[in-house]
Amino acid sequence: MIEIIKQLDTDILLWLNRSHTIFWDDVMWFATGKWTWLPFYILLALLLIWKYKKNSILMIFLVALLITLSDQLASGMFKPLFERLRPSHNPDLVGKLHLVNDYRGGKFGFISSHAANVFSLAFYLTLVARDKLKWMPFVFILWAIFVSVSRVYLGVHYPTDILVPAILSVPIALIVARIYKAYTPILIKKIT
C-alpha cells in the first residue's frame, strides 16, 4: 500500500511539475516567495483591526503562536524525524524535474512548512473571523491551496508533503481559536 501511495505521489508531482510554462513558472515562483504575501498580511491585519477593534489585538497576537506551532511541527519535528528527501534532492528524479530558477529548497521536505503555515492561518481565521468576514473561508482556503500547490509545481514537495499539513493544521487552528475565544473577554475587561 505504501508503495502505491509513493508511486501516486511521484506521478502527481511529475504531472504537475511537467505542466510548466513560462507564465506558470512566474506565477508559482511569485506564490512561493518569502516576501510576496507581506502586503497581503498587512492588509489583513488592518482589516481585522477595523472589523474587530479591541478583539483584534489578541486575534493578531495569536497568529504568531499559530505560525510558531505549525512551523515547529513541520520543520522542528516532521522533517528531522522522517528525513524524506525533497523531490528536488531525490537522486531518482534527477533530470525528470523542471526546477524554476534552479530552486531546490532544503534537503528534507516532509512536511511542507509553507503548507502547514498557510493552512493553519486559513483555518484559524475562518474559525475566529467568519462572523464578520463571511467570505474569509473561501478566500483563505483557496489561497492556502494555491500557495501549497506552488510548492509541488516547483518540484520541492510531493503532494503528500502538502496534504498532511493541511490535515494537521485543523487541530492547531482549533486549539489557538479556543485560546482566542477563552481569553478575549478577559482581555477586553482589562483594556476597558
- Cα 188 to its chain centre, rounded Å, is 30
The DSSP bridge partners found for residue 62 are: none
Q: Provide the 10 A C-beta neighbour count for residue 25.
A: 16
93 burial type by CB count under 10 A (0-12 exposed, 13-18 middle, 19+ buried):
middle
143 burial type by CB count under 10 A (0-12 exposed, 13-18 middle, 19+ buried):
middle
3-state secondary structure of 108: strand
Structural domain of residue 52, as residue ranges? 2-191
pTM score over 0.85:
yes
Number of domains in the chain: 1
Q: Which of 66, 12, 47 is nearest to 139 (CA)?
A: 47
The C-alpha atoms of residue 74 and residue 39 are separated, in whole angstroms, by 25
The grid coordinates of residue 71 equal: 512551523
The tens-digit pLDDT sequence of the chain (192 residues) is 788 888 999 999 999 999 999 999 999 999 998 789 899 999 999 999 999 988 888 999 999 999 999 999 999 999 999 999 999 999 999 899 999 999 999 999 999 999 999 999 999 999 999 888 888 888 999 999 999 999 999 999 999 999 999 999 999 999 999 999 888 766 555 555
The grid coordinates of residue 85 equal: 528527501
The C-alpha atoms of residue 156 and residue 150 are separated, in whole angstroms, by 9
